[in-house]
Structure 1
Amino acid sequence: MLSGSTWLHAIRKWHWLFYLLFALGALAGVASWAYSPSLSPEMLTARYANDKSKFIDVAGVRAHVRDQGSPDGIPLVLIHGAGGSLHVWEGWVRELGSKARLISVDLPGHGLTGAWPRDEYTVEAYGDFIEALADALNLDRFVLAGHSLGGAVAWTFAATRPDRVSQIILIDAAGENREAPWPTRLARLLVVGDIGIYFKPEQWVRRKLSEAYADPAMVTAERVKRTAELQRFPGNREASLQRARTQEPLDPTPLRGLAVATLILWGAQDRWVPVADAFRFQNDIRAAKLEVFEKLGHDPMEEDPKATAAAVAAFLKPIPVRPAPIPPPADPPESIRPAGGNQVTSRKAANHVR
């Protein structure tokens, strides 16, 4: 039988093991509390879709789309920013619905759309997605509006496909090369990023929204819950990680060759993309119009939908109808075809054949 002093000596000898087991237990407890699995897509769809929502195949993904407003109005395609959803445009739908046909969509890896089999979530890939969306909705030319990351998608799309857009609207848009924010740098770290995306997102979402809006009252419990829960739609967090690790710095050079009529809207209180970038966009894009809203932050279309939509309404122009293509000339009768099979086009040559 061991004496008390012997037990004490054994405990002192192996004290590091007790500390290690205690630390592992604490870590396991924290991980169990912080871990947040994906939520049921059926539950999220029932909670965040509405009677205007429809789900259509766009480039191989089941995309959540809302097509609202005037069916005969100017088609306006709306692209949200990183971590957002089509819900950010509902204020504009109310304000512009009588003048425009407003088409909003959850980008792949966002909202109720979820993962894209293509497994690419860069600005360039999203441009391909928007083109496929326009084709699926039989849109020839349209107005394209984008916020933040969606703004980069909008101006990149206009630079590469100018025949598809009549006007573009950039709202606190990404575009200037700058150092990635610390959450993106953290996500790029192996293991840290892979594990971190599965922690409960509510605290991070609340902090993110408090920085995005100039008005603290915009950070409602409902908005925090919706944003956090949609991040837990299957595939969305993995897509965010993939985007953080694969998106190359944007090259603003194409902006200088952009000839599409452009409206730039910016919140002067934006803490993420400074208003100085708005003036750079204005200098780079020919015939660009800029409106700065002094009391608004990074999401001006949500904070003041009435004022921002009024600027859009004044900017929108009817899309000219493309002239019908001239049909090719009909083939001449066989009697004026030379024996070799080449068509004779001049009347003099035709007479000579006769």
Structure 2
Amino acid sequence: MGAFDAVPGGIAGVFLIPIGLLLVIILLAGKGSMASGAALMLVFFGGNPDEREASGKNEGGWIIDLALSVTPSAWKKAYMGERDAEDGEKVLLDLPAWQGEQARELVEPEAVANVKSMQLAPLSVEGLADPVDTCFMSLHPAPGAAADLPPIVLIHGFDSSVLEFRYIAPKLVEAGMRVEAMEWWTGGFTAREPFIQALAADPSATPWDLIRKHQRAFIKRQLGDQKCILLGASLGGAVAIDFAASHPECIEKLILMDAGGESYAQPDPFLTALAADPVTNLFQWRANNGLLPYPHVWAKEAGWRQALRAYLKSGGYQQRVNPTLIKTVPAPTLVLWGEEDDVLSPQDVYKFQADLPNCEAVLMIPKAQHAPALENPSFVADSIIAYVKGQPLPQGAPMPAKA
């Protein structure tokens, strides 16, 4: 082993580490955890993702404690608060082979119920050569309990899954609502390879166009021509905005929850593309060391790392979803936001309020950060149910101070 091989980034890392540590100290002193995480990423996670993984550089190391110290809320709390660690031998779940080995180890009751509700079906998607094996859940009220309401379609965030909604989905069904949700590209157990191949084969192809077409194929399969309530969380909010702007005929109402669109957790598209390799390396390093959001059970799925890299190389959703597009969304919209969101600014609610043509209400979610469906699920579910039924919304947290 060379003198610099043990140092992340090799010889460049030797010179960059002092600068990086200084940046981390400065950022931790008051610049925010997301910026601190970016400094760590650029300093310690450079290099080709495949080569780095093969070399073993993604394994363990002293940097784990440092990484945890700058981890934003969306990777903590309900995400990292439960590790499914138990004394003694675990009883593995009896699941289909396509759900992999990691999912079989789940013990949290809500996660177990959710993963058991998952289905897999091939969907033909415009622009893709092969059908996409799509993971989804379709939950219906008990016979006689269905309310006269449109179904709700839930769109999860970046590198997430329908497990993100495991606390609120049962409450929505109990209220008489039909709940549909699929795992879109980069997330969960949905196949990634058809998207990766399409993007590699056609330089003009974009992730957002293919994701939108995938969502359309799913909604058409599940609902036909019936209109739905569409909810998008985090980056899934940008997915929802894009879909609502492109297919208004499908949407009864729109709900955005701590949504990307006015701002994003990543930098501008050029820098996002430039940082694709170190960001991908960071995700793989977190996966290898058990530091991805709980319960992240798809990191061993084929193409997971490659899909993350391909998405980032595209520059991301800020290439498509921005204030200009938001101003074209006709659907009546509710904006939900965690009052303490430390990933996207709570002040973004004012931008959505100003730019959405039909913003009916803005509601700040108390005791929640960037993952309200996990951090305050009862309030989120109650808010959705009230909005869909046309009832008064619950009392939310105070609106943020304007900049």
Q: TM exceeds 0.5?
A: yes
1:278 is the counterpart of 2:356: no
Matching residue's letter, 2:118: S
- By how many angstroms is 1:91 displaced? 1.1
Instruction: Give the alignment's TM-score, normalised by structure 2.
Output: 0.61
Given candidates 370, 382, 397, the residue that maps to 1:310 is: 382
After TM superposition, which residue ranges in structure 1, 4 or more long, deviate above 6 angstroms? Answer: 25-30
1:101 is the counterpart of 2:178: yes
2:189 corresponds to = 112
The change in CA–CA distance for 1:305 and 1:116 in structure 2 (over 3 A counts) is same
1:231 is the counterpart of 2:299: yes
Given candidates 43, 53, 58, the residue that maps to 1:34 is: 58
For 1:118, what is the secondary structure of its paired residue? helix
2:164 corresponds to = 88
2:37 corresponds to = none
1:298 is the counterpart of 2:370: yes
2:335 corresponds to = 264
1:330 corresponds to = none
The change in CA–CA distance for 1:258 and 1:32 in structure 2 (over 3 A counts) is closer
Describe the superposition over 1:214-266 as per-residue Cα deviations: whole angstroms up to 9, x where unpaired. xxxxxxxxx2xx32x42332112111111111025233212223221111100
Return the alpha-carbon distance in structure 1 between the equivalents of residues 177 and 216 of structure 2: 19
Matching residue's letter, 1:34: N
1:243 is the counterpart of 2:318: no
1:172 is the counterpart of 2:258: yes
Return the alpha-carbon distance in structure 2 between the equivalents of residues 160 and 46 of structure 1: 38
- Whether the 8 Å CA contact 2:272–2:312 is kept in 1: the answer is no
- By how many angstroms is 1:302 displaced? 1.1
Return the alpha-carbon distance in structure 1 between the equivalents of residues 372 and 265 of structure 2: 24
2:151 corresponds to = 75
Return the alpha-carbon distance in structure 2 between the equivalents of residues 78 and 273 of structure 1: 20
Return the alpha-carbon distance in structure 2 between the equivalents of residues 29 and 190 of structure 1: 15
The change in CA–CA distance for 1:97 and 1:31 in structure 2 (over 3 A counts) is same
The farther-off stretch of 71-80 and 135-144 is: 71-80
- By how many angstroms is 1:64 displaced? 0.9
1:53 is the counterpart of 2:129: no
Matching residue's letter, 1:104: A
Return the alpha-carbon distance in structure 1 between the equivalents of residues 272 and 212 of structure 2: 26
Describe the superposition over 1:25-84 as per-residue Cα deviations: whole angstroms up to 9, x where unpaired. 787999426359xx9963245456743211011232111111113275531111100121
- Whether the 8 Å CA contact 1:44–1:112 is kept in 2: the answer is no
Return the alpha-carbon distance in structure 1 between the equivalents of residues 389 and 342 of structure 2: 32
- Whether the 8 Å CA contact 2:135–2:182 is kept in 1: the answer is yes
2:90 corresponds to = none
Which runs of structure 2 are paired with 1:189-228 in the superposition (5 Å)?
189=275, 192=278, 198-201=284-287, 205=291, 223=294, 226-227=295-296
Given candidates 325, 335, 339, the residue that maps to 1:254 is: 325
Rg larger in 1 or in 2? 1
The change in CA–CA distance for 1:300 and 1:148 in structure 2 (over 3 A counts) is same
- Whether the 8 Å CA contact 2:98–2:189 is kept in 1: the answer is no
Return the alpha-carbon distance in structure 1 between the equivalents of residues 265 and 235 of structure 2: 15
Return the alpha-carbon distance in structure 2 between the equivalents of residues 178 and 190 of structure 1: 15
Return the alpha-carbon distance in structure 1 between the equivalents of residues 232 and 328 of structure 2: 19
2:134 corresponds to = 63
For 1:173, what is the secondary structure of its paired residue? coil
Return the alpha-carbon distance in structure 1 between the equivalents of residues 280 and 363 of structure 2: 40
1:341 corresponds to = none
- By how many angstroms is 1:196 displaced? 5.5
Matching residue's letter, 1:91: Y
Return the alpha-carbon distance in structure 2 between the equivalents of residues 43 and 75 of structure 1: 32
- Whether the 8 Å CA contact 1:78–1:103 is kept in 2: the answer is yes
- Whether the 8 Å CA contact 2:366–2:376 is kept in 1: the answer is no
Instruction: Give the alignment's TM-score, normalised by structure 1.
Output: 0.69
1:349 corresponds to = none
Unpaired segments of 5 or more residues in structure 1? 1-19, 210-222, 319-354
Matching residue's letter, 1:125: L
- By how many angstroms is 1:186 displaced? 7.1
2:212 corresponds to = 127
For 2:181, what is the secondary structure of its paired residue? strand
Given candidates 148, 154, 158, the residue that maps to 2:244 is: 158
- By how many angstroms is 1:192 displaced? 4.7
Return the alpha-carbon distance in structure 1 between the equivalents of residues 193 and 366 of structure 2: 38
1:342 corresponds to = none
